[in-house]
Structure formats: structure tokens, C-alpha cells
Amino acid sequence: MKKILSSVMKNKVINLIKILGFGINELLITIPLSIATFNSIEWDHVDDNVYLHIFEDDNYDLVVNFDELSEEDQLEVYKILSVIYN
């Protein structure tokens, strides 16, 4: 059941990225979550994954897969993107 909920949430987030990105698969947006504050969210259409990025100095990019987030953080990502859409 948990895997189904995560898959549904991921698909909803992908759809919001598509809508908000106007054809671009990455949104530069601050997303504060329980584990860290991220600087962008990206949908990689080749492997159908969603990644959150933290950009640091000296071209350092920390990447976290959406599937690895807790259910609460996944829901928070969805809520943040939904507020922007509405």
C-alpha cells in the first residue's frame, strides 16, 4: 500500500512539474523539508524519476531521489507545488 501511495504522489508531482515548467523539466524553487532545504526539483523523463537538488558552492550538487523521501516530505513537496499552481 505504501508503494502505491508513493507512486501516486510521484505521478502527481511529475504532472505539476510539467505544468509549472512550461516544457522545462526542472523548477528552481526553495523547498523546505524535514531533512533539508532544497533549491530545485527535476523530473528526469528518461528514467522517470524525480530528483531534488541542493546547490552548494564550487558547483557541488547534492541530489535526493523523491522515492527516498518520507511520506510526509513527499506530501509536503506536493503541497508546495500545488499552492504555486493554484
Q: pLDDT 10s digit of each residue in the chain, 86 long? A: 567 777 899 999 999 999 999 989 999 999 999 999 999 999 999 999 999 999 987 788 899 999 999 999 999 999 999 998 87
Could you tell me the CA-to-CA distances from 71 to 7, 34, 41, 43, 76 in Å, in that order?
Answer: 11, 11, 17, 18, 9
Sheet holding 37-44, edge to edge: 26-32, 37-44, 49-56, 60-65
Cβ contact 53:61 at 8 Å: yes
Residue that is written with C-alpha cell 505539476 in the block = 16
Predicted TM-score of the model (pTM): 0.89
> Which among 48, 41, 38, 12 is positioned nearest to 24, based on CA atoms?
41
Number of domains in the chain: 1
CATH number of the domain where residue 40 is located:
3.30.720
Domain span holding position 6? 2-85
